[in-house]
Structure 1
């Protein structure tokens, strides 16, 4: 499996924070960048990708910011990964089997897909299927269970002050 870009981590964390916003509120990109210790220009690129995929809303203007475009239960981890890294397969078969000593001038010798390609794509589909079964709501439940009270209070305080 190819390595996911760093943008996937940033997008998942930002989507999780946005999932906890009260209805009608937004968070500016600058606040999300500061909260996660990344540059604003870096993060805005990924927020634009999430917005283009319809996962978050970008509200312009001095009181603008970002919010989820749909309920946390309706946003899968696969949605976020694909918004940032794309939906193209990680494995690309270049048919190198046709270059070796067993190569044949007869194209019928290779009339079926490469069996390595089939297995690699099947493994990737299994990985994507698992991501499609997990939602932002699942991450919210994990956070409720796993984040200690002190850190939870600090994040809630930061978000309360930064939201618009």
Structure 2
């Protein structure tokens, strides 16, 4: 399974917004500066989070992003699904019914094969684990200095 860098970027930006605890929106350029990311690409990565109701976006010169929900109400799975989509990672195409299995009676294929079952079970466990962890959990597990570093850096940017 491969997740794009947008998931990492989105989660870190959500953490930064939570640490900044600001009511005013934080500009894309400022979020990009905190992590040395390209602003235009970061903006594209954050837009799905707005559509999913994880972030709120304010347009204009004084616009930017803020959390749309409390950290306790944002799961890691929310962020992953918003950015990567909710399609299953493994797609069974039933190749067992081709080639050597082409003339096999249909009743032998009534149940999913062991591979499809094992892969689905693993993916469900992965999804459950991400759904069980919130942004608040990440905040609680963060090193004590991380929020202060982001806050100081944000202040130096002139906000």
Please give the TM-score of this superposition, normalised by the length of structure 1. 0.88
The corresponding residue for 1:14 is 13
1:90-129 correspondence to structure 2 within 5 Å: 90-104=89-103, 106-129=105-128
Please list every run of 5 or more consecutive structure 1 residues that lacks an aligned counterpart in the other structure.
Answer: none
- 1:40 maps to which residue? 39
Structure 1 ranges of 4+ moved more than 6 A: none
- Secondary structure of the 1:92 match is coil
Q: Contact 2:16–2:147 at 8 Å: present in 1 too?
A: no
2:6–2:45: 8 Å Cα contact kept in structure 1?
A: yes
Task: State the 1:37 CA deviation.
Answer: 1.6
Residue 9 and residue 163 in structure 1: after superposition, are their counterparts in 2 closer, same or farther (change >3 A)?
Answer: farther
CA contact 1:55–1:68 (8 Å) conserved in 2: yes
- Distance apart, 1:107 and its partner CA: 3.0
> How many angstroms does 1:82 deviate by?
0.5
Hey, what does 1:160 align to over in structure 2? Answer: 155
Deviation at 1:142, TM superposition (A): 1.4
- Aligned positions, number: 159
Let me know the Cα RMSD of the aligned residues. Answer: 1.8
Unaligned runs of 5+ in 2: none
Question: Is the CA contact (8 Å cut-off) linking 2:7 and 2:80 kept in structure 1?
Answer: yes
**Where does residue 86 of structure 1 map in the other structure?**
85
**Residues 122-164 of structure 1 deviation map (CA, whole Å, 9 limit, x = unaligned):** 1100011011110000111112xx25x4x55432112234486
2-structure distance, mates of 1:80, 1:73? 13
